[in-house]
């Protein structure tokens, strides 16, 4: 009797996932544009290490991008696993043209845009991803639109969080991103949804 195909059998796999560094994989708190970052501030955001572990297990290539000075990004990335690659900073600043995303994918030896995703809380990087033809996922609670560290976010009242979350979500969807989540703890489900959208023939 032939094997019946399950959804997992036919769902397309991801080609690569690009991440913003500060305000996405790593909390920069109030030091978003500082020239120095104390080691005590370099903390992975909620869900970041878990989703990276999951993507590594699936064999999905990943890299991170950032515009901050090299000495700052080195300190911030200290919490991350060594296998995730740091993309070489583009000579042209975000968001256009989309060289940064294309360069990061080339450094991962990715030869196609199909199935490539960018995750970030930085609108200019997300715009670069949109310009590059990638699927884009915006972060509402830990990127520059919110401007708070996870600790500061948790210190807000539920009403304050809802207000900031709603304002950031509207701004991100207004930019044209394909999905918006609070933080990386929700990324696994979001990536599954994007794969289902791809299965239905949707393009970024």
In angstroms, the CA 95 to CA 67 distance is 11
H/E element, 117:
strand 116-120
In angstroms, the CA 177 to CA 129 distance is 9
Q: What is the CATH number of the domain that holds 56?
A: 3.40.50.1000
- Cα-flanking dihedrals φ and ψ of residue 139, to 5°? -105, 125
How many structural domains are present in the chain? 1
Q: Which residue has the tokens 């394909």?
A: 178
Residues 6+ apart with CB under 8 A from 59: none
101, 18 Cβ separation under 8 angstroms: yes
Residue pLDDT tens, the chain, 204 long:
444 444 444 457 899 999 999 889 988 654 544 445 544 556 888 899 999 999 999 999 999 998 887 878 888 888 899 999 898 776 667 776 668 899 899 999 998 999 999 999 999 999 999 999 999 999 998 888 887 777 788 888 999 989 999 999 999 999 999 999 998 999 999 999 999 999 999 999
Residue 3 gets which letter from DSSP? P
% residues pLDDT > 70 (the chain): 84
Q: 8 in a domain, yes or no? A: no
In angstroms, the CA 74 to CA 163 distance is 33
Q: How far is CA 139 from CA 83, 90, 97, in A?
A: 23, 22, 22
Domain range for 60:
16-199
Q: pTM score, two decimals? A: 0.88
Considering just the CA atoms, what is the radius of gyration of the chain in Å?
17
Q: 46 in a domain, yes or no? A: yes
204, 135 Cβ separation under 8 angstroms: yes
Q: 115 in a domain, yes or no? A: yes
């Amino acid at each position: 009797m032939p094997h019946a195909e399950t959804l997992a059998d036919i769902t397309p796999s991801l080609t690569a996932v690009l991440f913003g560094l500060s305000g996405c994989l790593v909390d920069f708190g109030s030091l978003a544009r500082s020239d120095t970052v104390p080691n005590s501030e370099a903390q992975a955001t909620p869900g970041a290490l878990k989703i990276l572990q999951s993507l590594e297990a699936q064999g999905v290539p990943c890299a991170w991008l950032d515009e901050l000075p090299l000495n700052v990004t080195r300190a911030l990335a200290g919490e991350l696993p060594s296998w995730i690659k740091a993309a070489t900073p583009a000579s042209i600043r975000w968001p256009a043209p989309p060289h940064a995303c294309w360069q990061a994918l080339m450094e991962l030896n990715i030869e196609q845009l199909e199935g490539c995703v960018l995750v970030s809380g930085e609108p200019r990087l997300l715009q670069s991803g949109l310009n590059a033809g990638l699927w884009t996922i915006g972060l509402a609670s830990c990127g520059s639109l919110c401007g708070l560290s996870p600790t500061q976010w948790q210190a807000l009242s539920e009403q304050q969080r809802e207000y900031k979350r709603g304002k950031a979500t509207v701004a991100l969807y207004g930019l044209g991103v394909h999905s918006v989540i609070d933080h990386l703890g929700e990324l696994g489900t979001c990536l599954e949804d994007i794969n289902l959208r791809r299965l239905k023939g949707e393009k970024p």
